Structure 1
Amino acid sequence: MYSRRVKNNWHIIKGQPLTELDKKVLYFQNKGHLVPSRKLIKTAEQIEGIRRSSVVNTGVLDLVAKEIKAGMSTAEIDKLVYDYTVSHGAIPAPLNFEGFPKSVCTSVNEVVCHGIPSEDEILEEGDIINVDVSTILDGYYSDASRMFVIGKTTPEKEKLVRVAKECLEVGMQAAKPFGFVGDIGNAVQRHAEKNGFSVVRDLCGHGVGLEFHEEPEVCHFGRKGTGMLLVPGMVFTIEPMINMGTWQVFIDEEDGWTVVTEDELPSAQWEHTFLMTETGLEILSD
């Protein structure tokens, strides 16, 4: 339940009759739940724009999947991302976002997220790396990431990467129209902890589409029935960050961006952009 300050999120359009969607959302709002504002419910035109952006975004990750290998620098990954994105008439969303200097986040081993590509960082046999790609096309945003195992790694890292992907999948299955964001986090946390891992709590998924980061915040831990109501037309990411050790993290003081596990044990993350429909989630970018 939420305080009175959120009770007017869903505004009735003056002079227009209540739709079935209005009635459903108002039911939950009047019960005291946090509901999205109308601006978070994307129009058909906006959804089509996000779809087009997502096609480019997925294409970038497909290219990285083909090219990534031991001996490659993370700066080479950044160049692949930049060149592919701009050649398709789009813009890498991370580039210069709040001062971020590169076109993609490359997070290796104990780096949880926001790793900055570098000529000096060379991928080695056994590394695991998250490549996080975000694209702007015609003003529409998409966002997804994948894990890559470089050559042969340890059984422990293999399990971490696999379970992190399963966490994304169980989170996706838990997300239902007129369910709650907390349902996603609860499913992710239970699966991670059942497998002996922890869920990062300082970072989360988010709405996306018209801006890089929108409401709601999609936490990957928590209780069922809490958080924002999930309404058809919402577009958001689920992107659980799963750690081998503690869930606690710190930010590298030198660059102000790189998030690292507190105990410097490995971390893994997968991310998709989703559209909530009347029947469940549709993957837009993976």
Structure 2
Amino acid sequence: MRKKVTKAIFPVAGMGTRFLPATKSVPKEIMTLVDRPLVQYAIDEAREAGIKEFIFVTSRGKSALEDYFDHAPQLEQVLRKKNKTELLETLKNTNMDSGAIAYIRQHRALGLGHAVWCAHRLIANEPFAVILPDDVIAGEEPCLKQMVEAYEETGGSMVAAMEVPKEKTSSYGVLDVKEDMGSLVSVNGMVEKPDMDEAPSNLAVIGRYILSPNVLRTLNKQKSGAGGEIQLTDAIAKEIELGHDVYGYRFRGQRFDCGSKAGFLQATVAFALARDDLRDELSGFLQEALAADKAAQ
């Protein structure tokens, strides 16, 4: 019987330099989209997919991230006295039970593959998920849940994928497609950040993965690749060389690149417009702002 995916790795060791000066003291992962930090969207998605153990690969200066998931007895007491039951319920989703969450330090910035490898002792010999909180995906069904359901049929390893303009392939890991089956594609290989003319397709890897524990053994022997870093895509490509199945999964939903300022702003607007309590006021403001901008031109 195929083992269930119950563990997820969240690589959050990056310094977030594109968001300086905000990230000088605030980890990028707890910057907020509307009223929830980026990492909360990732945690909620993982829970919906059946994840029970949450492993954060962090670095120096991320203590605020750890505090975020801790219980806040004083705050909860104040809310209880004021009968703020809705806010108390909201806080419940931010609390993590003892033993459900672990933090591991990545002492050197050697790439995503190295960050994932740092958690290998906690994964042991089980399939596991990797979620990059920078990639926020809005959809009726959470992306990782879609992937877990597909994985239960296929096994192997699986990456979330979406089509990107050919001129943007150099910013992504790109799939060399063996067979296109609609939502699923079987994969011949993966190329990290290829030149536009050398990209095997325009199907790009997005920050959701379900991986065989074999990938961790490969990462243990891996040398640096593109950009001088240990690339996760290289280790997944090795799985294909060894004859193991690797699939791309075209998820249903809209992805926002919250590692960029433009993507973060787009996500903020999209998530706010999806809220009944914010939609009308924000929509009115945006229409006025666009009209004023057009008139100024």
Q: Tell whether the structures are fold-level matches, with TM greater than 0.5.
A: no
Structure possessing the higher radius of gyration over alpha carbons = 2
Provide TM-score, normalisation by structure 2.
Answer: 0.26
Whose helix proportion is higher, 1 or 2? Answer: 2
Tell me the TM-score normalised to structure 1 length. Answer: 0.27
